[in-house]
Amino acid sequence: MIDYRLLSSDDFDSLHECFLAAFSDYEVDMRMSREQFRQRIVRDGVCLEMSAGAFDRVRMIGFCINGLGQWQGKSTAYDAGTGIVPGYRGRGIAKELFAFLESRLKEAGVFQYLLEVLTSNVPAATLYRKLGFVETRRLAVFRSQTRIDHSSDLSIRRVEQPDWSLYQSFWDAHPSWQNSINAIERVANDRIIAGAYENDECVGYGVVFVPSANLMQLAVSPAYRRQGIGSAILSSLETEAAQPLKINNIDENSKASLAFYEANGYKSMLAQHEMIKTL
């Protein structure tokens, strides 16, 4: 018999172990140390007390961990990871986890539930649609095996106090939950922001989440595009991370962004559905 219950900080080690087992055969490499896992759930705003585990006796064999916060001006739960270990799949455990959590999220005043799922993960996407999730957009995932050096006469320097009002004026699309302003602020000690300056005017910026070398945001003022500024910022952040970056969740409607990463040696490897359900 499978039991379901809310999690607490006491479950962290079991959750990490279950996470690694559940994603051991995932299309994206999800291996990470205990500390990297902790940094990830901090970035995503995970509240363990509003997350759930599935247990076979004392062993955790499935989980759904939720971040809580504001999304597009509404109180939102974000599915920061749902997984079932091999050998327990196909028994409806994920469905039961969502059913267990939904009423509790409603009671907590959460308006909507947000998640991302690989487009290639047809069983999971089908389940989410049956549960009432609706696709809002497609997000591209990029990877590169090599770094490309882009020199520039611009001044590119670290930023300690980001000007979010200015930065948002550079955007063509809003970032995903994992790359949002709130996520960046939650990991202030684990991210680097690089700004590009023309005569002391900031004309572009980029943010990297250092523990996993994830590019969280990169944007250039529309008036300064196609001048190599974005490439110079990207190169600077690759140097900070000492490796090519992991670029996740680029809005596929932003054709200019897709072309930019491809021109800089990154290839679109996977795509995700971003999906929302009103609770």
Average pLDDT over residues 34-56: 97
Q: Provide the pLDDT for residue 151.
A: 65
DSSP class per residue in 37-103? HHHHHHHTTB-GGG-EEEEETTEEEEEEEEEEEEETTEEEEEEEEEEE-TTSTTSSHHHHHHHHHHH
- Tens of pLDDT, residue by residue over 136-150, are 999 999 999 877 766
Per-residue pLDDT tens over the stretch 168-187: 999 999 999 999 999 999 99
Copy the structure tokens of residue 115.
Answer: 């998640």
Q: Choose the weakest-confidence range: 114-128, 143-157, 163-177, 243-257.
A: 143-157
Q: Which domains does the chain have, with CATH numbers?
A: 2-110 (3.40.630.30), 142-269 (3.40.630.30)
Q: How would you list the strands of the sheet with 201-209, edge to edge?
A: 2-6, 52-56, 59-71, 74-84, 112-118, 267-278, 134-143, 246-251, 214-220, 201-209, 191-198, 155-158
Q: What is the dihedral of CA 168, 169, 173, 177, to 10 degrees?
A: 0
Q: DSSP strand E in the chain: where? A: 2-6, 52-56, 59-71, 74-84, 112-118, 134-143, 155-158, 191-198, 201-209, 214-220, 246-251, 267-278
Band of the pLDDT at 154, cuts 50, 70, 90? confident
